[in-house]
Structure 1
Amino acid sequence: MQAEIERLRRRERELERENARLRLGREWPAAVTSDVANPDLLFTAAEKTRMAMIVTDPNLPDNPIIFANRAFLELSGYAAADLVGRNCRFLQGPDTDPASVAKVRDAIAARRDVVVELLNYRRDGTTFINELYVSPVFGPHGELLYFFGSQLDISRFRAREAPAGGAGASFRSLLEEVEAGFCIVEMRFSADGRAEDFRFVEVNAAFEHQSGLAGAEGRWMRDLVPGHEQHWFDAYGEVARTGRAVRFRGHAAWLNRVFDVHAVRIGDPVQNRVAVLFEDASDRQEVERRREAQVSERMVERDLVWRTSRDLLVVCGFDGAYQAVNPAWLDVLGWATGGLVGARFDTLVHPEDREAALRAFETLRTGRSVSDLDLRLRTAEGGDRWISWNAIPQGDRFHAAGRDVTERKALEERLRQSQKMEAVGQLTGGVAHDFNNLLTVIKSSTDLLKRPDLAEERRSRYVDAIAGTVDRAAKLTGQLLAFARRQALRPVVFDAGHAVGAIADMVGTLTGARIRVETTLEAGTDGEESPLDFHVDADPSQFDTAVVNLAVNARDAMKGEGLLSVRVRRVAKIPALRSHQPVDGDFVAVSITDTGSGIPADVLDRIFEPFFTTKGVGQGTGLGLSQVYGFVKQSGGDVAVESVVGTGTTFTLYLPHAKGEEAERTVAAEPEMLADGHGTRVLVVEDNREVGAFATQALAKLGYETVRVADAMQALAALEAGGEPFEVVFSDVVMPGMNGIDLAREIRRRRPALPVVLTSGYSHVLAADGTDGFALLPKPYSVADLSRILRRALRARSAAVPG
């Protein structure tokens, strides 16, 4: 029950405060430590003064405190929440003089001023002698609004002279404590009601200092300043007559100063007294004037920039509509500004760039800026211009500036073409150099083979030299095609971890005994699969070559001594590489780290170029890293390199992880080499006469029956002709008219059981689309390779045909 009573009391106090707030019409200034406010001058003064001040509302039950300034809170030790809503009597105690309390009570009841000395108690129980000044404050129509009380701790200020009573007495000590100029004036009106003059009843020291009117108290203003402007008299006269408080900024001509003035009627309305609080605002006015001038100047400058800028300027709302565009849109793109306002921001964006524009728009909507966004915008004549945008969001819109970079884009394209031609020239020179070396070996060997007196041992050596040189030439073209991503890869699903383990011994042999090789397989990121599942769908031969190339480079960088670490793991993304954005997904990462000399920063950007090498003459072709780069890019991955000079280098290959239905494929046992064809009929499709002759002659030696045609149309005609049917088709890929891939597809449509084997040294069709499931024999090929792949195709057909 007691708790409920206390709750109701708190609620009553809250309602009283709310009633007071509504009566006073507005909230307190932020500096006031109460939840009630008053617009009158006295409250402004009370907050500024160092004297303790309170205000009570006699129109509420028990005349409660509705405001206490900071000085009173410090004097009494109470918080504002402890005071507001309570009658002042709770500050009294057993030693408080009852006669003084009665004197205050009588003055309040009579609605008049009173000055008493009163012993009050602080929150901590200590006492202070309070010189209390209480004065009623009336409204415009003579209604009592509240009582204004100032408190002076005379136990600390005994030297202060006690003020006299009478109207305005409660302000005497207050005036001296206020830092702003403060005075009380008494108005004099003419017979027709015009404000003629006013007499200073009380002034504080700050008033005399700011006004320069020493000894003003008791004197008339027109005696002090004969030429004082009439508008001051009119303003104060209006306050005295109506009771409406005023605020204004007035110019005092005799001082050439500007003052911020706040005036309110006090005391009995018949006294025509006005309390005035004023502060010198001359410096503040000058600052404001300069600020306004600066703002105006900046607006003029902004307008000039807006109208004269050669860049496209735009203000766009987050509803996607242009709100304003500058005249440069007409000059650069030919669009009049009036026709663009209200249009969507992506209306003029090239269709291929629209997705990038939408992404940038969403970035701005999240409060982030956009920089260096290059987009093509349609011109009024139907063309396109490249515009580079920078945009900043602000509120419910964004501001953007776009610069025409069409010429820069054209220069960049010409530079790329120039660099491409330079690379082609370097590539051509490198290929010519290496192939001339290989051809020299072949030419010399064939010349020596022609000698009639050549011993059999030397004949075998020269034949082996030719065969080995051909293999090196094939490897060279394979590296070129890998770099260009034009080789026909033969991907299978295999475990990259097992592959690395299988070639570890080879790597150890290549690097030598003084280089320690460590191989680490780390747990993967996909919890639903085996933690050591490193399956990839790629060409295992090219994968092995890439790892070996990196190992050889690491060996050379370590000068034959150090630590070579091979680390295999699963990762969830390819990081941003060479201006490309990060790629999310599921990848197997193979990192090869050495402790070698490192790669200088000015070289890193060139290491994947064909024939670029820092090794000495004869120590490398400069195609090793080109092969690595081409292989991983064509396999759907990428390669990263990190290097610190003097510390070492890490190359990381990223290959897409093979999942689920891409389970590891097993390779059937290879047929024996040079197996007898037993009269198997082969249709050879080859447009090159010499290559076709070699193929048919080689197959005939192996016991095959062959028919050669020059193109796909002849091949289809031969298949449709009568006679003994063919059992396998061996076709080149690159031919005039229909290519080998399309021919194989057509044969599969017409004769699904007839196997087709393709052969090619290079084909953009194979590089782009693969073999479409057909067997492929890369050129150059040996007789043994030809025999093996045909036997494999025939075996696969036999396994597929029932019975």
Structure 2
Amino acid sequence: MPDALPSPHRPSAIVTRPGLDERGTVFFAAIEMIRMPMILTDPRRPDNPIIFANQAFQDLTGYEEADLIGRNCRFLQGPQTDRGTVDELRDAVAAQRAIATEILNYKRDGTPFWNSVFIGPVFDDAGDILYFFASQLDITRRWASEQAFRQAQKMDAIGQLTAGLAHDFNNLLQVVTGNLEMAVQSVGEERPARQIARAIKAAERGAKLTTQLLAFARRTRLEPKVLGLNALVLAFAEVIESTLGDAIAVKLDLTPGLPGVTLDRTHLEVALLNVLLNARDAMPKGGTVTIATDRVTVAGDVVAQGLPPGEYVALRVTDEGEGMPPHVIERATEPFFSTKGAARGTGLGLAMVHGFVQQSLGRLEIASREGHGTTVSMIFPATAAEEAPAESRHRPRRGSETVLVVEDGDDVRSLASEYLEDLGYTVLLARDGQEALAVIEAEPALDLVFSDLVMPGGLDGLGLAAEARRRRPDLPVLLVTDDEPRVADGPRAPTMDVLGKPYRKSELADRVRAAIDRGAGQRVAPGEPPHG
């Protein structure tokens, strides 16, 4: 009975395929014509070389047949190929058993691709091994989608944990900064005042840390306005140069005539500063950092771009530093991941930038090579709207109205009361939503409800605001929170506003005054129908 396939002891016949029996000819013809990338190797020859590769495999890898024949498949591996997966494949070949797995391989031009590989032995009728047959499938796009989904799940879980921690931490910081702020006003000696000022500065750094955490988790409320990136960079240049120091030269490469972008200016400035600080740290001996802007058009392969088709504007920061290896780039936006050490970084800078850019419907890209520097690009959707005029700052004013403070934390409630009384307001207190509703019913002269969003019991700040509006449509409500998107997603009324936590006395004065004035504008005039 003839062999099922041509004998492995005639390699020249295998390559040229003359004199094969009918079954062998049909087998090779089938592999050669099929569109899935496939190869055959000969385990009876030293190092199990490739003896056949169909055209689909050549198209996938970029190698021609002459480059493939006689080589072991390991040439497809590269620096990021998982060694454990390689060992699994090697063990399966040694045991002459089939295996299916996924492995990172590299094309002839160095491009990595995720390869879904099936390898199986081919035996003759006597049970002797003839070949190993391997089919390949480029699953790079599927793998990228799965990784993005897993990353999104992880980020969501961290975001939920972060929000809970930030609420408690911000309450502590509110008490610390508030009491220090009150104390410094009553201290006359220079030395204690300096010590208190240092304590305030440390507490403010803690507040900035929670802000970065929440920005990473996309749980801060953005206040976007139409901006020109070129104008923002030019206006911010003095701050940039003083922050980076004399050892770093700043070069601007701004493309004229760019469309505007709709972004939160403060968050964008903080994001740009974080990227620039990373660039400075990558050049300990000094160097040049280039800030560039340009126009980006997304079309065609939308999945690869990660953005819907349209016009975009990019803000890019390029340094001349040491660069990053691929495994560091992959983790660069993870929270708390840092290559600087605990003394120099928290690992939140790029995580915060990534969160802000995504929340702004953009994309963060990092391109780097060891020894050749790094480019970080923030890509934002372009807008056709006109740039918003600069806002005039509201001058803090005192008041004499009556404010209801709703807060379950004794220290935070006492601090808010002290702040407001010092500003001239009459203050009423409640520990939860139910107590607050009782005060609202009993005090018709009430001018403002100032409430925390998170409270115990069945009535949180949003529920209290809705119930207060039902009973008193003209009663303004000012919510204080560190979970501002939750407020933005909930029902809003013209008389409701939000204050971020922790806040300074001056911020509270401005927002309370503005909220009361807004409520006065909504009050029902005699003879007019009530507001809905």
The TM-score, its normalising length taken from structure 2, stands at: 0.61
Q: Structure 2 vs 1, CA of residues 494 and 580 (structure 1 numbering), >3 Å: closer, same or farther?
A: closer
CA distance in 2, matches of 1:486, 1:762: 6
Residue number in structure 2 paired with 1:498: 231
Q: Structure 2 vs 1, CA of residues 789 and 574 (structure 1 numbering), >3 Å: closer, same or farther?
A: farther
CA distance in 1, matches of 2:462, 2:226: 23
- Whether the aligned pair in 1 keeps the contact of 2:258 and 2:313 (CA below 8 Å) is no
- Whether the aligned pair in 2 keeps the contact of 1:534 and 1:569 (CA below 8 Å) is no
Work out which structure has the larger RCO, using CA pairs closer than 8 Å and 6 or more positions apart in sequence: 2
Q: Structure 2 vs 1, CA of residues 658 and 749 (structure 1 numbering), >3 Å: closer, same or farther?
A: farther
Within a 5 Å distance, the mapping from 1:656-675 to structure 2 comes to 656-660=381-385, 664=388, 666-672=390-396, 675=397
Residue number in structure 2 paired with 1:790: 512
Cα root mean square deviation, aligned: 4.5
Question: Which structure shows the higher strand fraction?
Answer: 1
Q: Say yes or no: does 1:725 pair with 2:445.
A: yes
Name which of 237, 252, 259 aligns with 1:533.
259
Q: Structure 2 vs 1, CA of residues 644 and 576 (structure 1 numbering), >3 Å: closer, same or farther?
A: farther
Give identity over the alignment, percent: 36
**1:723-760 deviations in whole A, cap 9, x for unaligned?**
44222221211123233234334544554443322111
Q: Say yes or no: does 1:700 pair with 2:421.
A: yes
Residue number in structure 1 paired with 2:398: 676
- Whether the aligned pair in 2 keeps the contact of 1:577 and 1:640 (CA below 8 Å) is no
Q: Which amino acid aligns with 1:549?
A: N
Report how far residue 556 of structure 1 moved.
Answer: 1.8
Report how far residue 800 of structure 1 moved.
Answer: 6.4
- Whether the aligned pair in 2 keeps the contact of 1:593 and 1:648 (CA below 8 Å) is yes
Q: Which amino acid aligns with 2:393?
A: A
CA distance in 2, matches of 1:568, 1:648: 18
CA distance in 2, matches of 1:495, 1:771: 30
Residue number in structure 1 paired with 2:211: 478
Q: Which amino acid aligns with 2:238?
A: D
Q: Structure 2 vs 1, CA of residues 743 and 499 (structure 1 numbering), >3 Å: closer, same or farther?
A: farther
Residue number in structure 2 paired with 1:459: 192
Residue number in structure 1 paired with 2:350: 625
Q: Structure 1 regions of 5+ residues with no counterpart?
A: 1-286, 302-371, 373-387, 391-400, 524-530
Residue number in structure 2 paired with 1:778: 500
Aligned-partner SS, 2:334: coil
Report how far residue 290 of structure 1 moved.
Answer: 6.9
Name which of 585, 601, 625 aligns with 2:310.
585
**1:13-60 deviations in whole A, cap 9, x for unaligned?**
xxxxxxxxxxxxxxxxxxxxxxxxxxxxxxxxxxxxxxxxxxxxxxxx
Q: Structure 2 vs 1, CA of residues 293 and 552 (structure 1 numbering), >3 Å: closer, same or farther?
A: closer
Name which of 237, 247, 267 aligns with 1:542.
267
The TM-score, its normalising length taken from structure 1, stands at: 0.42
Within a 5 Å distance, the mapping from 1:281-292 to structure 2 comes to none
Residue number in structure 2 paired with 1:367: none
Q: Structure 2 vs 1, CA of residues 462 and 512 (structure 1 numbering), >3 Å: closer, same or farther?
A: closer
Q: Which has the larger radius of gyration?
A: 1
**1:565-587 deviations in whole A, cap 9, x for unaligned?**
21223323399899774432333
Corresponding pairs, count: 383
Q: Structure 2 vs 1, CA of residues 521 and 688 (structure 1 numbering), >3 Å: closer, same or farther?
A: same
Residue number in structure 2 paired with 1:739: 460
CA distance in 1, matches of 2:521, 2:332: 48
- Whether the aligned pair in 1 keeps the contact of 2:261 and 2:380 (CA below 8 Å) is no
- Whether the aligned pair in 1 keeps the contact of 2:324 and 2:369 (CA below 8 Å) is yes
- Whether the aligned pair in 2 keeps the contact of 1:492 and 1:665 (CA below 8 Å) is no
Aligned-partner SS, 1:693: helix
Aligned-partner SS, 1:754: coil
Q: Structure 2 regions of 5+ residues with no counterpart?
A: 1-16, 32-101, 103-115, 119-134, 526-532
Q: Structure 2 vs 1, CA of residues 288 and 637 (structure 1 numbering), >3 Å: closer, same or farther?
A: closer
Report how far residue 544 of structure 1 moved.
Answer: 0.9
CA distance in 1, matches of 2:289, 2:389: 31
CA distance in 1, matches of 2:258, 2:522: 35
- Whether the aligned pair in 1 keeps the contact of 2:338 and 2:346 (CA below 8 Å) is yes
Aligned-partner SS, 1:657: strand
CA distance in 2, matches of 1:295, 1:648: 54
CA distance in 2, matches of 1:779, 1:652: 30
CA distance in 1, matches of 2:238, 2:23: 81
Residue number in structure 2 paired with 1:712: 433
Report how far residue 614 of structure 1 moved.
Answer: 1.6
